[in-house]
Structure 1
Amino acid sequence: MRLHVGCAMWTLRSWQGRFMPHPLPPHERLRHYASWCDAVEGNTTFYATPTRETVASWAQQTGPDFRFVVKLPKTVTHERRLADAGEPLRAFLDAVEPLGPRAHALWVQLPGSFGPGDVPVLARFLRRLPADHRYAVEVRHPDFFAEPRAAAQLEEVLTAAGAEWIPFDTTAFFARPPTSDAERDAWMKKPRMPLRTRALTTRPIVRYLGRDDTARTVEGWRRWVEVTAGWLREGRTPTVFVHTPDNAEAPALARRFHEEVRVLVPGLAPLPDPIPAAPLTLF
Structure 2
Amino acid sequence: MGMRLHVGCAMWTHKAWQGRLLPHPLPTQERLRHYAGWCDAVEGNTTFYATPTPDTVAVWARQTSPDFRFVVKLPKLVTHERRLTDVNAPMRAFLDAIEPLGPRAHALWVQLPGSFGPADVPTLARFLRRLPDTHRCAVEVRHPAFFTDPRAGRELESVLAAVDAEWIPFDTTAFFADPPTSDAERDAWTKKPRLPLRTAALTDRPIVRYLGRDDPDRTVEGWRRWLDITAGWLREGRSPTVFIHTPDNADAPTLARRFHDEVRARVPTLAPLPEPIPVEPTTLF
What is the TM-score normalised by the length of structure 2? 0.98
The letter for the 2-side match of 1:152 is R
How far, CA to CA, are the matches of 1:193 and 1:240 in structure 2? Answer: 18
- Structure 2 counterpart of 1:185: 187
Question: 1:90-109 maps to which residues of 2 (within 5 A)?
Answer: 90-109=92-111
Instruction: Structure 1: give runs of 5+ residues left out of the alignment.
Output: none
How far the C-alpha of 1:224 sits from its partner, in A, is 0.4
Check if 1:212 corresponds to 2:214: yes
How far, CA to CA, are the matches of 1:144 and 1:211 in structure 2? Answer: 25
Structure 2 residue corresponding to 1:149, chosen from 145, 148, 151: 151
How far, CA to CA, are the matches of 1:20 and 1:92 in structure 2? Answer: 30
- Structure 1 counterpart of 2:47: 45
How far, CA to CA, are the matches of 1:263 and 1:211 in structure 2? Answer: 23
How far, CA to CA, are the matches of 1:126 and 1:64 in structure 2? Answer: 25
The letter for the 2-side match of 1:193 is L
How far the C-alpha of 1:92 sits from its partner, in A, is 0.2
Structure 2 residue corresponding to 1:15, chosen from 14, 17, 20: 17
Identity of aligned residues (%): 80
Instruction: Structure 2: give runs of 5+ residues left out of the alignment.
Output: none
Check if 1:56 corresponds to 2:54: no
Question: 1:191-206 maps to which residues of 2 (within 5 A)?
Answer: 191-206=193-208
- Structure 2 counterpart of 1:131: 133
Q: Secondary structure at the match of 1:5?
A: strand
- Structure 1 counterpart of 2:259: 257
TM-superposition CA deviations, 1:61-92 (whole Å, max 9, x none): 00111110000001000000000011111100
How far, CA to CA, are the matches of 1:69 and 1:26 in structure 2? Answer: 20
Q: Secondary structure at the match of 2:12?
A: coil
| Alignment size in residue pairs | 283
How far, CA to CA, are the matches of 2:191 and 2:168 in structure 1? Answer: 19
How far, CA to CA, are the matches of 1:224 and 1:127 in structure 2? Answer: 31
TM-superposition CA deviations, 1:103-128 (whole Å, max 9, x none): 00000000000000000000000000
How far the C-alpha of 1:282 sits from its partner, in A, is 3.8
The letter for the 1-side match of 2:181 is T
What is the TM-score normalised by the length of structure 1? 0.99
What is the RMSD of the two structures over their aligned residues, measured on CA atoms? Answer: 0.6
The letter for the 1-side match of 2:161 is T
